[in-house]
Every structure is written in structure tokens, then in C-alpha cells.
Amino acid sequence: MQKAGFLTVRYGAYHHREVPPEDATLTHVGPGTPCGEYFRRFWQPVAFSHEVADLPIAIRILGEDLVLFRDRGGRVGLLERHCPHRGTSLEFGLPSERGIRCCYHGWLFDVDGTILETPGEPPDSTLKVRLCHGAYPALEHAGLVFTYMGPPDKRPELPRYDSFAIPGYRTVPGMKYYLPCNWLQVKENSMDPVHTAFLHTRVAGAQFTEAYGVLPELTFHESAIGMYYIATRRMGENLWTRICDFMPPNAHQFPPNWEDAKTEKDFGPATATHWAVPIDDTNTMNIDVRHLSEHDARDPAKGAKAAFGQMADRPYEERQRLPGDYDAQTGQRPIARHALEHLATTDRGVIMVRKLVRQGIEAVQRGEDPKGVLRKPEAMIRTYTQDTVKRVPTLADPEAERAQQREFGRKVAANVFGGRPGA
């Protein structure tokens, strides 16, 4: 009898029908789950600031139904969606000068969950003194609204990345879109640079540039905040090194995807910082900010443009002929089954992502802070994301050439902070 995940006979699907369960430890994110409690130790972006206007917004994050609003005093609040009085949804609430008022009986809730008024009750009622409504802290940064949904006494500092403060560049709101699948298969894609040569170039044509069709020489490294990969390609007489960061649990950033590596350059900064925020176990919100030059930042379309194939915004048949990230990621089932995978040497980054997440989960279970949680305010967190193109003669010996590419990538990474504008 063949094992479910490993088939060695032809026409053997009959012996391969059992679908093993998902890895719940890494994929389930609801309250009380191992990964859910891990996620709740970090600030998560839930919306763009400009979206939170005069009407409340019903949202679902980490399996919890919430309402996001801005009161008329300008403060942002995030509350449990249903009024504690009779359960009416606060998405139909009325933002007030201070807090939000339930439409049903007029109870008024502050952004911290304090019940300010219970107007239908007698004047001597103590309900508002004795009760609070469920609330999560919310703050605004770089055009995003972030929330912290973990234990109040474990609340960390909000990370401040150096990619948000590069001289001559501005951080602007980017895109927000949804995928009907688990967060992990969305995020681990960011540490799978080999897929750019196939999915984004050889399979569906050059979705970025032809340069991405060259298989890179890869190395993967842990960093103080997570991990990064170094991908170096030979492009004629030039070597092109591209470096991308993964910041646990669910953020990554990358340099421009329009590089063709034909012209030398010392430093190309991160163009986007991107979060895959779990809505629940089988739905994910992708949300990002863009880091644009002062010139590009004047064009609103530069920030509000998704790369090819990121959404289900094309006819199904076209997506079959020219698939993109959306199709590859959602096509792994709503929750990918790791027990059916056959990971190879090119999957080292995926393996490291899962390892870092698992280690973070285990740290929380031990009562410790997971990697990436900040307890003291820091002026800026250094990241590695960038790309560099330099003229370097080709070596005749293939192995020597591969070693040269790895060494070039290592030197680029070692000089990232020294070569970055404003460093």
C-alpha cells in the first residue's frame, strides 16, 4: 500500500486518495490556537488610514469579527463588532465626537471599550461603570491602521523599518486585496525566488522583465529581525544581486520588479513592504505600502497598482493560460497539505520560513517573546532589501562562476547599510 504523500508506481492514484490533515500548528489562527496566539504578539495592519472615514467598517481579522471606525475627534478605534447590550452590529453605529454609538439603543463606546453612556437606563444605573466593551489598541503609521490583539501586558513597540525613511523617497499606501486561502502559503511565496524564473517568466511570459528568467544563485540567511535571501544572476557582463527580507510573522519587502540588469547601479531600495494578514484559516488579506521616489510619489497610480497576476481580476481561461501568484497560491487548496509535498533544494527559503514561524510559536508557548517582538523603542530597524548591478567578467569554469556569484552577493549584502543613501 502506497503512503499518502509518497507515490512510486505508475497510474497509482487509487493508492493516493487519502488527503492528510493540514499542519494546524502553523496554519490555524483563531483565538487560543498556537499560531493565532503567536500572531497576536505583533502589531498587524488592518486597513489604510484613508479608508477609515465617516462610516464604520466591519472587518474580520484572525478569526475575530470586529468594527473599525474613526470618531469625530479623529481617533481610530477597533471594537468587538457586536454591542454588549443586545448584540447589534456596530458597523451600523454612529461615530460621535468621542467614540461610537450603537444605533439600536444609543449606548456609546469609547475607543478603549469604556461605556460612556447608556441613555435608555435610569440615571442611577451602574451598568456603564461596571462593564466595558471589548476593544483592541489601534494606531496609525505610514498611512496604515495597525492593531495589537494580544495580551495587554505583552503589548510591544511598533517596528520602524529603515525602508520607510530613505532620503529622496516617500512611503505611500499601496494595494489591498484578498485571497481565499491560508496566510502561510501566501507568505512563504516571498522566500521562494525560484518561482520568479518559472511562474513570472518562462511559463506565462515575462510578467516583470526577461532578466527574471535566469535562474539565480541563491543563499538564505537569518537576520536580527527574521531572514533574507540573496539572489544573484549573470546578465551578460553584469552580475545582478537582488535581496529580499522576511519579517516574521507575515511581512516581507522587495526591491523594484522592473529591473532588467542592463545598467550598473549601486543601490536600488525596497519598493514595497507587504503583509499577508490572516482573516481566518482560509482567507488572507494582502496589504502593502510602496516606497517611491519623490517624483513617482506624485503619481497616485504608482502606489495603487498591483503586479500582474496578484488577483482574480482576469477571466478564468486567461488565468489558466497565463497564471500568476494568485492562481499558484490559491491552487494549493484552501490550506496546503504539507504532508503531500516533496520539498527540494530550491525550497530552502520555504523551509526556513516555516522553521522561524514554528520557533516563534514555541517561544510564545514557553512564555517568551518571539523573534521580532520589540520591547524598547528603536530609532530604526535595519533591513537588507535592495538590488545592485555591477560589471563583473564571466569566469570560464562553471563552478568558479557560481562561486563568484555567491561571493558577489555576499559582498553586496555585507555593504547594504554602508551603500544605502543616508546610511
Strand 76-80 relative to strand 135-136, pairing: antiparallel
Residues 132, 110: Cα–Cα separation, whole Å: 9
Cβ-based burial of 224 (10 A; exposed 0-12, middle 13-18, buried ≥19): exposed
The edge-to-edge listing of strands for the beta sheet with 144-148 is 43-48, 144-148, 138-141
> At the fourth CATH level, which superfamily is domain 162-419?
Naphthalene 1,2-dioxygenase Alpha Subunit; Chain A, domain 1 (3.90.380.10)
Cis peptide bond N-terminal to 20, omega within 30: no
For the record, the C-alpha cell of 372 comes out as 521580532
**Residues of the chain where predicted confidence (pLDDT) is lower than 70:** 1-5, 300-304, 419-423
Supply the pTM of this predicted model: 0.93
The reported pLDDT for the residue numbered 81 is 98
Q: Locate the domains of the chain by residue range.
A: 43-152, 162-419
Instruction: Identify the pLDDT of residue 2.
Output: 43
Which residue reads 493565532 in cell numbers? 36
Query: All 3 cell numbers of residue 330?
Result: 490559491
| Reduced 3-state DSSP string for the chain | CCECCECCCCCCHHHHCCCCCCCHHHHCCCCCCHHHHHHCCCEEEEEEHHHCCCCCEEEEECCEEEEEEECCCCCEEEEECECCCCCCEHHHCEECCCCEECCCCCCEECCCCEEEECCCCCCCCCHHHHCECCEECEEEECCEEEEECCCHHHCCECCCEHHHCCCCEEEEEEEEEEECCCHHHHHHHHHCCHHHHHHHHHHCCCCCCHHHHCCCEEEEEECCCCEEEEEEEEECCEEEEEEEEEECCCEEEECCCCCCCCCCEEEECCCEEEEEEEEECCEEEEEEEEEEECCHHHCHHHHCCCCCCCCCCCCHHHHHHCCCHHHHHHCCCCCCCHHHCCCCHHHHHHHHHHHHHHHHHHHHHCCCCCCCCECCCCCCECCCCEEEEEECCCCCCHHHHHHHHHHHHHHHHHCHHHHCCCC
CA 324 to each of CA 34, 310, 327, 331: distance values in angstroms, whole numbers, following the listed order? 31, 6, 6, 11
CA gap 87, 418 in Å, rounded: 56
CA distance 231 to 246: 14
Pick the CATH number of 43-152 from 2.102.10.10, 3.40.1280.10, 3.40.50.10320, 2.60.40.10: 2.102.10.10
pLDDT in tens, 228-249: 999 999 999 999 999 999 999 9
pLDDT at 301: 65
What pLDDT sits at residue 291? Answer: 94
**The predicted structure's pLDDT at residue 423:** 52
